[in-house]
Structure 1
Amino acid sequence: MQYSQPQNPRMSVLSTTSLASDHFSPASSSTRFSLPVGAPINIPAKQGNKPQIYDRNLNKTRTAEVSLSAYAFLFAEIVRYTQMRVSGIGDLERRLNVLGYRIGTRVLELMSWRAEAGTKAPKREIRFRAALMSVHSQVWRAVFAKPADAIEKSVDSDDEYMIIDNDPPITRYISVPKDMEQLSCSSLTAGIVEAVFDGLGFPARVSAHSTPTDAYPSRTTILIKLDKSVLEREESSK
């Protein structure tokens, strides 16, 4: 008996040779057309857009902490990336300082915004020593999750102050080779401090120096050399 080619979507399972023939037996036709249909594919519904980091409340992240391992890995990669593009130790420290300055401007902006949002009468420091104490405690805690260890004033110059950090978290896992022992990777921290003082209205030149001791081999001194205008303003406001 001759059968016409059926119009059925299951025809897609037939082989090429079977499709080429217009004569099918009832048995073979029934067998071929009785193949089970594959299980339906469940396509999940499209989810809405996830909130971006810019949509997060800045006050809710005030006490958030960053993994120290991630922090150290990121800084180590910054140092390695920068080291491959400089000609000497001085150039490397300068680039780290510039990067730290960019971070410091954002740190000051964030801290100022939180201070204004958290109180009806935000306070702005107009004396240098009060601003220095703020950097020693609040800025250090915001960036490194701990205050600095000490503040010192130079006995030789009235325009020099020092912030001491016995164990800087930023350089805890940085190994400086012997031929670069003069390098201080805390130049990034010096850039942060310089940006904060500039933003507060106390222009200064800030540099980082390694001052290791037997008890604290990673001890670092952040040297702050104030601009002459700051000293004159401090004298006039006494």
Structure 2
Amino acid sequence: MQRVSSTSKIWRTIASNARKNLFHFNDPCYRSFTTVSPALTSQRLHQPELPCDFRKWGSLGFCRTSRFATGFNPLQLKPLDSIVDIERLKDRDPENITSIWDDYHIGRGHIGASMKASLYHLLEHRAKECRYFVIPLWRGSGYITMFVQVQTPHMLFTGLEDYKARGTQASPYYTVSFYTEFAESKDLVLIRGDVVFTSKLTDSEAKWLVETAQSFYLNDVRYKLVERFNKDPSEFEFKDVLRALNMPIL
């Protein structure tokens, strides 16, 4: 795997095009992807030029090709009352609601988590100005790079290589939804993740990704890297993300 070098031109192109084009969710199904090895990902990541111009992200109104969350539509939030009985939870304390939520998702092919409403509002505020980021996902002796868009109440993840190479054909590997029904009464926001392509991400990787993405938006020091990626990409260095995550710079 190649050593991380200055890639400001790549990040500038990614950030610039991403700011112009939001996700859209009206097209039909997407084809499945082939697996991209960490070594190949790293090699392409450090090429001086992108393989193609970034175009508008295509629709995420895909037909699922895995056993996860059949029928889930990322930007049409699945109603919370279709997942749990809200009325029965209203009299429970936040810890109990969180426990029920987490238990519900165990073994169901989804990721269940929660956060304080105050932290969600901070995430929401920061995502309005800095919608995009890149996160390395470590596998074996290398990493693949995930491209993240935070468009509350959703967070979406796909492989950077697929985003670079496929443009309008790119589809998310993983979608996350935030439920704010208990934000005011319980200071609690429930989080549900759905792995779209099981061949791309495991449940444990998906859980790590959402936790890590939140840490970059909620931690003041880490958030400076998010700001740099979105607002001053010429100064963004991917190795700073690796350092923040205590990953080796290859």
Larger of the two Rg values belongs to structure: 1
Please give the TM-score of this superposition, normalised by the length of structure 1. Answer: 0.28
Instruction: Determine which structure has greater relative contact order: mean sequence separation of CA pairs < 8 Å that are 6+ residues apart, divided by chain length.
Output: 2
Task: Flag the structure with higher helix content.
Answer: 1
Please give the TM-score of this superposition, normalised by the length of structure 2. Answer: 0.27
Task: Flag the structure with higher strand content.
Answer: 2
